[in-house]
Amino acid sequence: MTGVTGHRRLLEQMRADGVRHLFGNPGSTEEGLLDEIARFPDVGYVLGLQEAAVVCLADGYAQATHRPSVVLLHSGVGLGNAVGSLCHAKQRGTPMVVLAGEAGVVYEPLEAHMAADLVGIARPVTKYATRAVHPASVLRQFRRCMKVAATPPQGPVLLALPQDVLDQVNDEPVLPTVVPDTRVLPEPARLREAAELLAGARSPLILVGDGVAASEAVPELERFAEAWGAPVCLSMASELLFPWTHPLCDGLMGHMFGEHSGAAVADADAVLVCGTYLFPDVFPLTGSPFRDDARIVHVDLDPYAIAKNHPVTLGLVSDPRLTLRALTPALRQAQGEEGGAESARRAEWIGARHEEARRAALEADRAVRDRVPLRMSAVAERLAALLPDDAVVFDEALTHSPDLTRWLPPRLPGAFFQTPGGTLGVGIPGAVGAKIAHPERTVVGFTGDGGAMFTFQALWTAAHHGIDVKLVVCHNSGYRLLKENLVDYRGDLGDPDPAAEFPWFFDVDRPCVDFVAVAGGLGVPAQRITEPAEIEPVLKSMLDHEGPFLVEVRLERDVAAGSAAGGGPVTEVKQS
């Protein structure tokens, strides 16, 4: 055959789009494409040993770069393994293009072995799913996928690639993908209207989500919150949206019970919602939890998210950064001098309340610093002193996350990632992916002993590719979050002793998983911390080691009654 096949053209297209890594697990239906990869040393192949882990590796990389990552999976079985991770990617809006190989269009009528409806499998867990069927449009479809994945609201997309289509000569032009510019502002009159609705509030509230990070609007959000004297509550947050050290930061809202989200907004007479949908709970309230007289302004690049479940007073399809930047002077003007002074007094009062709560929580941590079994706060306190300022934290510590983030409070955009709830197992591969994106920075990933078991294959990927990531398993020998949520559930049913006993299968302890051995078996050196005296030396060995390293921390497993309570200036993660 003369001419270039679709396999090579597709890789040329990826190169033109600046794709530097293909995250994959190979199979026989993609061999034409796999065989071409060696010709493209600038498009590296990152080998993952299970597709759930492969997608989470690509997810961490995309989170850390805000650009689409590209994944290459094998047929229905590979895509099937990836579905849980894609649920997570869709929920958090990860820009990602998933390519899935299949034998060929010609084999479809034969219902050949392993033929599967890839588009049908992917559709519910992607933003867009399509299949290449002709060599005149393979690159066209790839570019469309890149564009759809990268355009707000970002998300994962699927392109199914029948090998017989790519085997043919492909004469398509290779052109960089065009992503539309979405830096859009509302008309000045609408901005004034928004400012007037918000000005004069006595109990204002800001609810933000990942759209703020996608728009790189953190400094603008700070200025606006300060001008309005409003607490900022983090709704769907999988990265830094607002510095947790800022006096107006009210913490995470949680993702479990609508009553908690409802309580967080119940008193507000004016609410600015920005870059999120309401409410991201597993059990959301069906009625609106807002006050009847609350004035609600929702700013989002995703029109679907605005007034999705509950009415708002004014919806603006616009870019968070530009809108917050323009809204701040408009608000100052609408507030007038007296209103501005009132907002400043309120900001001071909120800040003092948060500082008092923070100081009390740190004091409580210090009081249990030497306890055995260990508290995660004791480890986090020591780690905070050892980490460089620009270290990247990837947090899937679940029930230990509040202990962790009290001592390592996220401060800088791009330096903190967190599971927003959903699929378990994002922590280890997510940190590996983030380290691939930031090889020059220290990256530490945290996961639970439960979560770690879903995607520990990514340890091998780190060892194989020499990815110098640091990983901490918060080992409490079980599914503590499920215990906490059961305490809540029983409490709601009026159980007088809701923490009395739990289903035996919430414990994962006979045998207790030995992560030092698991990591060793996958080529990653590891050490265990069980006693306070071991904390500092083991953390130092981890940070001093060149190459991937895992630390298993044996932690308390008890659950206190009422530990799942939400709302207020707490940093809490609730997952399903």
Binding site residues, ligand TPP, CB under 6 A: 84, 398-400, 423-424, 448-451, 454, 476, 478-482, 575-576
> Least separation, in Å, of the C-beta of 100 and ligand TPP?
20
Of the residues 12, 30, 36, 449, which one makes contact with Mg ion according to CB under 5 A? 449
Residue 48 contact partner, candidates Mg ion, ligand TPP, none, CB within 5 to 8 A by sort of partner: none
d(CA 44, CA 23): 9
d(CA 196, CA 545): 56
Of the residues 448, 548, 566, 569, which one makes contact with Mg ion according to CB under 5 A? 448
On the 0-12 / 13-18 / 19+ scale of CB atoms within 10 A, 120 is exposed
* Contact by Cβ (8 Å): 480, 509: no
Residue 84 contact partner, candidates ligand TPP, Mg ion, none, CB within 5 to 8 A by sort of partner: ligand TPP
Residue 6 contact partner, candidates Mg ion, ligand TPP, none, CB within 5 to 8 A by sort of partner: none
Of the residues 84, 204, 315, 450, which one makes contact with Mg ion according to CB under 5 A? 450
* Contact by Cβ (8 Å): 238, 419: yes
Number of residues that bind Mg ion (CB under 5 A): 4
Count of CB atoms situated within 10 Å of the CB of 396: 30
b/e sequence 40-68, b meaning 16+ C-beta within 10 Å: beebeebebbbbbbbbbbbbbbbbbbbbb
How many whole angstroms from its chain centre is CA 534? 31
* In the block, residue with structure tokens 């050949």: 112
Dihedral, 502, 507, 509, 513 alpha carbons, nearest 10: -170
* Contact by Cβ (8 Å): 308, 277: yes
Does 427 bind Mg ion (CB under 5 A)? Our answer is: no
Residue 518 contact partner, candidates Mg ion, ligand TPP, none, CB within 5 to 8 A by sort of partner: none
d(CA 6, CA 365): 59
Instruction: Between 448 and 548, name the residue whose CB sits nearer to ligand TPP.
Output: 448
Instruction: Between 239 and 403, name the residue whose CB sits nearer to ligand TPP.
Output: 403
Instruction: Between 231 and 448, name the residue whose CB sits nearer to Mg ion.
Output: 448
Of the ranges 223-231, 259-267, 349-357, 468-476, which one interacts with Mg ion (CB under 5 A)? 468-476
Q: Token digits for 425?
A: 């197992």
b/e sequence 270-299, b meaning 16+ C-beta within 10 Å: bbbbbbbbbbbbebbbeebbbbeebbbbbb
> Least separation, in Å, of the C-beta of 421 and Mg ion?
15
Structure letter (DSSP) for residue 159? E
Instruction: Between 144 and 490, name the residue whose CB sits nearer to ligand TPP.
Output: 490
> Least separation, in Å, of the C-beta of 477 and ligand TPP?
8
Site pattern 473..502 for Mg ion (x: CB under 5 A): ---x--------------------------
> Least separation, in Å, of the C-beta of 554 and ligand TPP?
12
Of the ranges 188-196, 211-219, 244-252, 444-452, which one interacts with Mg ion (CB under 5 A)? 444-452
Q: Which residue is closest to Mg ion by CB?
A: 448
Residue 544, C-beta contacts closer than 8 angstroms, at least 6 positions apart: none
Instruction: Between 93 and 427, name the residue whose CB sits nearer to ligand TPP.
Output: 427
Instruction: Between 135 and 445, name the residue whose CB sits nearer to ligand TPP.
Output: 445
Count of CB atoms situated within 10 Å of the CB of 510: 7
> Least separation, in Å, of the C-beta of 406 and Mg ion?
19
Instruction: Between 242 and 479, name the residue whose CB sits nearer to ligand TPP.
Output: 479
Q: Which residues bind Mg ion (CB under 5 A)?
A: 448-450, 476
